[in-house]
Amino acid sequence: MNVYKEETIVSDVVESIGNGSLIQHGKHNDRVYLMKLDKRDATIMPVRLSKMARAEGYTKIFCKVPKWAAPLFYANGFILEAAIPQFYNDDEDVFFISKFLDLDRLLGVEKDKLNGLGKLLYQKTEGKKLRDSSYTIRPLSVDDIDQIAHIYDEIFETYPFPIHDPEFILESMENDIHYFGAEKNGQIVAVAAAEVDRKGGNAEMTDFATLKAHQGNRLATYILQTMEAEMSKQGITSLYTIARLNSLPMNKTFLRASYHYAGTLIKNTNIAGSIESMNILYKHI
């Protein structure tokens, strides 16, 4: 079994609260993240999360909620950071809303990277580049778990979820997260995942990582194309990603694939060793 650096396996707790709402919280990301909101919890959730965050000393509350629920949160001091139209089953919008409990976190956005993103959004899409035929792009299975974990351990110093842990990856596969990879000479050298919400008809395209020796070959682009084709086959119609503001090449990969910019989450996620701002990009297929 691989030996993992201590800091890579530190992660926040994921738990169910109320009538089935799902949250992640802890000091690793220094926040509460409302991942799924049960409609029965809507009226009480803004106050409940605020009390929890203050009691634990967290500096941010981050929520992904349907549009109809947003006014309930606005009334409790939350603000809109991003939005995706027709997100749930080609119908209802999703709002990414946050409450900042520390002014330093709100004001700590990486302004130079925001300027770079602004320029990127106005650039013309580049022409297609032929894929190196020595790489094979394919879905990954339980037989590939150790290689997946190894790549994540090599690339990310920290991550909001313990994707460096083979047991976590196995559990995620059992919960409708689909992994894809690029393989060369029998070895997986790049990976990504599609986290599927079948009830909502959407999927998050996430956890992209390429070993350094193979970077520069646009493997993320070709893996993304394969993921999109598979999601389409499965009847998924809305795709999105939460990409690091500090990684303009990753943002460029999605913009090149005709994704739309939906907003920036200020100082939202502990990734690659520090809490960074994240961009939301989406696409309907």
CB 223 within 8 Å of CB 179: no
| Nearest to 239, CA basis, from 177, 269, 176, 194 | 194
Supply the pLDDT for residue 159.
Answer: 83
Average predicted confidence (pLDDT) for the chain: 92
Supply the pLDDT for residue 130.
Answer: 66
Tell whether the model's pLDDT for residue 8 goes beyond 60.
no
Higher pLDDT, 230 or 4: 230
The superfamily in CATH containing domain 6-106 is: Gcn5-related N-acetyltransferase (GNAT) (3.40.630.30)
Q: What is the pLDDT of residues 43-85, one digit of tens each?
A: 999 999 999 999 999 999 999 999 999 999 999 999 999 999 9
| Nearest to 138, CA basis, from 235, 201, 44, 222 | 222
At a CB cut-off of 8 Å and minimum separation 6, what does 59 contact?
Answer: 30, 31, 100, 101, 102, 104, 105
Q: What is the pLDDT of residues 113-138, one digit of tens each?
A: 888 888 888 876 665 666 788 999 99
At a CB cut-off of 8 Å and minimum separation 6, what does 187 contact?
Answer: 147
pLDDT-wise least confident of 91-100, 133-142, 153-162, 276-285: 153-162
CB 243 within 8 Å of CB 263: no
Give the mean pLDDT of 260-264.
Answer: 96
Q: Domain limits of the chain?
A: 6-106, 111-284
| Nearest to 124, CA basis, from 252, 263, 262, 265 | 252
H helix intervals, the chain = 45-56, 70-74, 103-106, 111-122, 145-155, 166-173, 219-233, 248-256
Full-model pTM: 0.90
Are the folds of 6-106 and 111-284 the same? yes
Q: Which fold has domain 111-284?
A: Aminopeptidase (3.40.630)
CA distance 199 to 236: 10
